[in-house]
Amino acid sequence: MKVNKTWKLPKPELVNSEYEWLSVVRVGRVVPFGYRQDPEDDDILLPIPEELETLEEAKHFLKQYSYRDVANWLSEKSGRYISHVGLMKRVKLERHRKAEASTQRYYAERYKEAAAKAETLERNRIGAKERNSTRSPEATSDRG
């Protein structure tokens, strides 16, 4: 397969930063794209807003271009190398986490509804037991 390297990705529109990037705890040996190691604490990763915003722009290009092309564009634009496999893993992990969070919100809402219904049923059951216990002993002996 012959690769045509004469074209480049179009220049993205400038996006005003809407995000507040937060520091994260380092869990692996590789520092992820968009972060740098804190010089004072080896376990903390500090965000690099320019790289993270460029990564967000690059995600939009994945609908039209391959991971390899987008990773090359991202490396060229940010000045920091990211492989197409690294980009694919990053995007896949973020999609998975987003779907997982959505699922957890859905189940939390269902849990609230079920808990409210269970509480209503429990109140009715307790009230029913109290009504049965106030009956006279003769009324209960006629059944048996």
Is the residue at 7 inside a domain?
no
Range of the domain at 69: 31-92
Q: What is the pLDDT of residues 86-136, one digit of tens each?
A: 999 999 988 898 899 899 999 999 999 999 998 888 877 765 554 445 555
Provide the pairing of β-strand 44-47 with 24-25: antiparallel
* Structural domain includes residue 54: yes
pLDDT, one tens digit per residue, over 10-36 is 444 445 556 678 888 888 888 889 899
Is residue 143, in this structure, part of any structural domain at all? no
Domain presence at residue 97: no
Mark out the alpha helices in the chain (DSSP H runs).
49-61, 67-78, 84-133, 137-141
Residue 107 lies in a domain: no
DSSP state of 30: S
Total structural domains within the chain: 1
pTM, two decimal places: 0.61
